Amino acid sequence: MIRIKSFIFAASFLAATSSISAQIKTRSYMDNGDKWGIIDENLKVVIPAEYLSAGEFTGKCANVEVAQNKWALVDINNKEIIRFTCDKLKPMKCGWCLMIGTDGKYSFVNEKGEYLVKDAVYASEFSQGLAGVTRGNYERIDYIKPDGTVAFSIDEAKGHEFHNGLALVENIFESYGIIDKTGKFLTPTELRRTSYLGEGAFLTEDPENPYHYMIINKYGKILSPRNIVSATKVYNGISYLTLYGHKNFNSYAFNLKTRELSSKGLFISNNSSKYMATFGKFPDGKTKFTLCDSSFNPLCDRDFEYFGDEVNDIFVFLDHGKNIYVNTKGKTFVAEKANYLMP
């Protein structure tokens, strides 16, 4: 009976560990000089800051850089599972990590050391069950499934990640087109400097005015003004725009459906409009950075000097020489021993 009880306890522990690691949102953090670790959405340290670089948990393991050109997958107890010699190891998605070798070649590997693809000239990470793989001379993209079978192929140079059933593909001249999950082109590869904003909208450079941007839909129809400097991700049909020719430190809420612009006199600094790092004068009379929800209600009871970045709804701000991590509940975690500030 003792053996049976021990087995049941071990099985329960492993199941709980797998469940925890599969559900939590995590991001890297810097502390302990210039070392990196991983914290979760509750700002609890999951992996201590002891690595040259760190990624995030996606399932049962996380990617960490243990030494120059040496990356590993570790479990939630910081136990090393496997080590690779490479330049970069991305987080695991659909059971595979995208690995970039020291020779610049792209491969997909798993925690068992198995290869799905080896030495491609380019590959995207898996997203929505597909990854774009380019072999040979940048002449064809194979979008593959996690079992290695080809879903469809396109005669272009690079295939990027899918979001909401849409992906950007790139030709050898660094122009972009938009495809759906069947490989059908919705726009030809004529777009310049293009990125996905969410909810079927893309930010692309105005072909008639370099470094001025506009928002288009998946068919290339222009939705916005053509003098955009920057735009946040779309949330509930709203993207916050910074515009050429308008007041500095002022972002405009752009409604993609009504095409209306409005302003609250605040600068939206991060890449999401569900939770926003905002800068400006608030009702309390202070000019500051703080974290707000989409209705501009402050989520944190303190303000900051500068905004760093956001990963998985975990933000980092700078204040009085410290990197301060903030979650969407307004809780903070101060990295006391970081050697330098986040950019």
Residue whose pair of structure tokens reads 């974290």 in the numeric block: 291
pLDDT tens column, 43-64: 999 999 999 999 999 989 999 9
Provide the token pair at 210.
Answer: 């370099």
CA–chain centroid gap for 34, Å, is 22
Q: For residue 313, what pLDDT is reported?
A: 92
Q: For residue 32, what pLDDT is reported?
A: 87
Instruction: Give the mean model confidence (pLDDT) for residues 185-193.
Output: 97
Spatial distance between the Cα atoms of 206 and 192, rounded to a whole number of angstroms: 8
Residue 173: count of CB within 10 angstroms of its CB? 9
Label residue 301 exposed, middle or buried (CB < 10 Å: 0-12, 13-18, 19+): exposed
DSSP 182-245: T--EEEEEEEES-EEEETTEEEEE-TTSTT-EEEEETT--B-S-S-EEEEPPPBTTEEEEEETT
pLDDT tens column, 287-296: 778 898 888 8
Spatial distance between the Cα atoms of 14 and 233, rounded to a whole number of angstroms: 37
Please count the CA atoms within 13 angstroms of the CA of 193 that sit on its side-chain side: 12
Determine which of 5-9, 22-26, 245-249, 275-279 has the lowest per-residue pLDDT on average.
Answer: 5-9
pLDDT tens column, 86-131: 999 999 999 999 999 999 999 999 999 999 999 999 999 999 999 9
The per-residue pLDDT of the chain, averaged, comes to 89
